[in-house]
Amino acid sequence: MSLKFDLNTGYPDLSLVPRGRLLEHLEGVFESGRGMQYTGALQGVASVREPVADFLTRSLSAHVPPDELMIIPGTLYGIDLACRTVAQPGDVVLVEEPTFFFAVHLLKMSHVEVIGVPMGADGIDLDALESALKRYAGRVRLIYTIPSYHNPTGNCATAANRAGLARLAAQYDVLALEDATYQVLYYGDPPPPALKTFDLGGEHVALTASVSKILMPSLRLGWIWASTAWIKRFLGYHTNSTPVLSADLVADYMASGEIDGQLEVVRAMLKRKHDTVMAALREHAPDWLMWSAPNGGYFLWLRLPEGITASEVEQAAAARDVSVMRGSLSYAQPKDDQTLRLCFAMLPEPDLIEGIERFCAALKGF
């Protein structure tokens, strides 16, 4: 059931889509005779990989060569592909605890055991990660991580934490998959460099992301940045399902440089919405509610006091036409019912304010 004030779904605000500009680029793609044929190149054609590599080089402040990129149908596909490539049924994939709920679902579809490793404000708990790597030695094939503006907590791993994670991945010879969906969506200072840049040997971190949160999710267009050896392995498991029309359209949009201005607009709107939600919570939330203070991304993470469960709050909010997400859904192993995730990216600002006011009114009923 969809409720009017949706603080649950992690979708972008579609008013951000530059429809006119995309239409013009689409005409250009057709006029040039591209965008209509089967892929042809499993990795993505060079004329697509080059502008994507240039965009990543600019936006990540890291050198991304086109031959270290493969073009894929979105980040979810990247997670699935990495898991299928490295893991056999029964192997172990380590994830942050909590983590992106849909990633857990996807990983389990590969019949792997998904094990949560605690995390804090600075990133994944490195001691706990090392213990898990030792405990499941020989079975851990992948570490799935969201270092920047994590879903669902909004946390951003420090540079030292990223360096530690990359070091452990190399030491235990395990691939870390960096989900960089929110890396470029900061509201103030940029986050530390991508985890991938801390992988000194270049063989233990692959990065995946997409245009979903910066341009339009229905394009289903993303990438994996990894060493050429890893790209070769991934290609062996790739289903060649990348939408060619989207790829050519995104390539032209990126080559024009318009993506840089678009990113600024997206960041500015996210910052406004973040500030709006924070102000509304400060004004209306009961004293006992605890919430995170992210510097980027889509989400706030709320903690409830003992005696009030997220399930109860979810119901009370729904009675006021507000949907929120129970935090317990974001865990690989069952967890307490004391947390909630709020997404403030999708709703227009007036609805966002009313949604938070209604949510807080629901909380005050406890």
Ligand X SMILES: Cc1ncc(COP(=O)(O)O)c(C=O)c1O
Residues within the interface to ligand X (CB under 6 A): 10, 74-76, 100, 146, 151, 179, 181, 210, 212, 217, 222
Task: Please report, in angstroms and rounded to a whole number, the separation of the first and last CA atoms in the chain.
Answer: 24
Helix axes of 228-235 and 75-86: crossing angle, nearest 10 degrees: 90
Name the residue nearer to ligand X (CB basis): 75 or 227: 75
Name the residue nearer to ligand X (CB basis): 72 or 132: 72
Q: Give the amino acid at 327.
A: G
Cα angle, residue 9 at apex, residues 294 and 153 outer, rounded to 5°: 25
Name the residue nearer to ligand X (CB basis): 181 or 323: 181
Residues 6+ apart with CB under 8 A from 207: 177, 178, 180, 194, 195, 196, 224, 225, 226
Token pair of 335 as six digits:
């967890």
Give the span between the Cα atoms of 364 and 362, in whole angstroms: 5
Residues 6+ apart with CB under 8 A from 180: 60, 147, 148, 194, 196, 207, 208, 209
Q: Which of 317, 308, 274, 312 is nearest to 290 (CA)?
A: 308
Give the span between the Cα atoms of 154 and 168, in whole angstroms: 23
Compute the least distance from the CB of residue 73 to ligand X, in Å. Answer: 8
Compute the least distance from the CB of residue 93 to ligand X, in Å. Answer: 15
Compute the least distance from the CB of residue 215 to ligand X, in Å. Answer: 11
Contact 157, 179 (CB under 8 A): no
Compute the least distance from the CB of residue 3 to ligand X, in Å. Answer: 19
Name the residue nearer to ligand X (CB basis): 83 or 170: 83
Compute the least distance from the CB of residue 146 to ligand X, in Å. Answer: 5
Token pair of 40 as six digits:
């042809």
Name the residue nearer to ligand X (CB basis): 216 or 316: 216
Compute the least distance from the CB of residue 15 to ligand X, in Å. Answer: 18
Compute the least distance from the CB of residue 327 to ligand X, in Å. Answer: 14
* Residue 152 backbone phi and psi in degrees, to 5: -105, -5
Name the residue nearer to ligand X (CB basis): 51 or 222: 222
Compute the least distance from the CB of residue 201 to ligand X, in Å. Answer: 26
Residues 6+ apart with CB under 8 A from 104: 95, 114, 330, 331, 332
Give the span between the Cα atoms of 137 and 305, in whole angstroms: 37
Give the span between the Cα atoms of 289 and 179, in whole angstroms: 29
Name the residue nearer to ligand X (CB basis): 13 or 312: 13
Q: Give the amino acid at 109.
A: M
Compute the least distance from the CB of residue 345 to ligand X, in Å. Answer: 10
Name the residue nearer to ligand X (CB basis): 212 or 328: 212
**How many CA atoms within 13 Å lie on the side-chain side of 51?**
19
Name the residue nearer to ligand X (CB basis): 74 or 164: 74
